[in-house]
Homo-oligomer: A and B are copies of this chain.
Amino acid sequence: MERIGVGLIGTGYMGKCHAMAWNAVTTVYGDVPKPQLIGLCDIPSAAATARAAEFGFAYGTSDWRRLVDDPAIDVISITVPNHLHAEMAIAALQRGKHVWCEKPMAPTLSEAIAMTQAAEASGQVAILGYNYIQNPAIRHARQLLEAGAIGPINHIRIEMDEDFLADPQAPFTWRSEARAGYGALDDFGVHPLSLLWTLFGRPASALFGEMARPYATRPLVGGTKVENWDIATALLRFAGDLTATLQMNRAAWGRKGRIFLQIFGAAGTLLFDQERMNEIMLYRHDGDEANAGFRTILTGPAHPPYERFIKAPGHQLGFNDLKIIECRQLIGRIRGQPSIAISFAEGLQIERQVHAIAKSHRDGRWVGLEA
């Protein structure tokens, strides 16, 4: 296979994360050529040049269209704020680039639809940066579920909580504006929904939503009205007698990166907490009541692709490693290999659910996914 030429738009939290992944993927995996890091876009121009040197890209630019037009570039990482995704992704796809875009897709459903249509029209690979699903622990969970290790699943609970908006004295920012979205629902909710998608491969058929504001105002000049919701709860009904509860809170003191899954089946239960991302807890009913209990499984070489990173079990992957795995999946998809990733079309299903939950909150009643 030819080497892949890479362009990167955005060099913040996620931009740097993409850069680390592009730099590391070949060393870690050994089975793909070293990507050619061509161009990087940031503003101002001087920042772009500086970041290009740090991140190992050949050039920096403040004009993202230069990357889209550069024939040496095959795939573009889009890591800028959500409201810019649609324009960039569509432009890149239309010029024949593959796209690796951070989630969520876009603030509005119509933009997400347009992105999906552009991806389909282009025939290029277009995936979203849902990194949590790449965790070997989550992959193992999926395998266990598929193998029936805990029987047919009947109920799921997912909580996603952080505390960056827990302080009522934290100043008002764009995050609390209506135009930033619903709040916790889209900011966090897409992650649990991506996990549900990964584990079960289908969206909910009916949804109910409730959102809450822990603090009605936040200090700025005087005290500015919070326009969205830092707390969101959703009830989901799936085909086949499966129900789920999602709870999101970005004002949850003490929670730093909690994504807690509880998956209940007819023969056992499976737990996972992102704050201890190298562990799975598994309870299996096997009739030996005196020795039944949740076992804490530490990920290791028995849980691919952990072994690509570390030879010994229990030594732990980190958050950034998940992006390296995701990068390898992207390359695999480009090469036509089986891969785990959420495409634009799948991501659109996730965003439809988000909007349905919000509609339910407004209406105070259950909403079907097509509503």
Q: Report A189 CB to chain B, min CB distance, Å.
A: 15
Secondary structure class of chain A's binding surface, majority of residues: mixed
Verify A310–B319 contact, CB threshold 8 A.
Answer: yes
Verify B254–A283 contact, CB threshold 8 A.
Answer: yes
| In the complex, per-residue mask of A268-289: 1 if CB is within 8 Å of any chain B CB, else 0 | 1100000111001111110001
Verify A241–B254 contact, CB threshold 8 A.
Answer: no
A295 in complex: contacting residue of B155, B164, B212, B291, CB < 8 Å: B291
Q: Report A2 CB to chain B, min CB distance, Å.
A: 14
Verify A317–B314 contact, CB threshold 8 A.
Answer: no
The bracket for how many chain A residues form the interface is: 35 or more
- Answer yes or no: A224 CB below 8 A from chain B CBs: no
Verify A247–B157 contact, CB threshold 8 A.
Answer: yes
CA distance A366 to B300 in the complex (A): 39
A30 in complex: contacting residue of B54, B235, B321, CB < 8 Å: B54
Q: Report A208 CB to chain B, min CB distance, Å.
A: 7
Verify A16–B20 contact, CB threshold 8 A.
Answer: no
CA distance A28 to B247 in the complex (A): 33
Which residues 249-266 of A sit at the B interface, judged by CB distance below 8 A? 249, 251-258, 262, 264-266
CA distance A157 to B252 in the complex (A): 11
| In the complex, per-residue mask of A124-158: 1 if CB is within 8 Å of any chain B CB, else 0 | 00000000000000001000100001110011010
Interface residues in chain A, defined as those with a beta carbon under 8 Å from any beta carbon in chain B: 13, 16, 19-20, 23-24, 26-28, 30, 33-34, 53-56, 140, 144, 149-151, 154-155, 157, 159, 162, 164, 166-168, 208, 210, 212-216, 231, 233, 235, 241, 243, 245, 247, 249, 251-258, 262, 264-269, 275-277, 280-285, 289-298, 300, 302-303, 309-321, 364-366
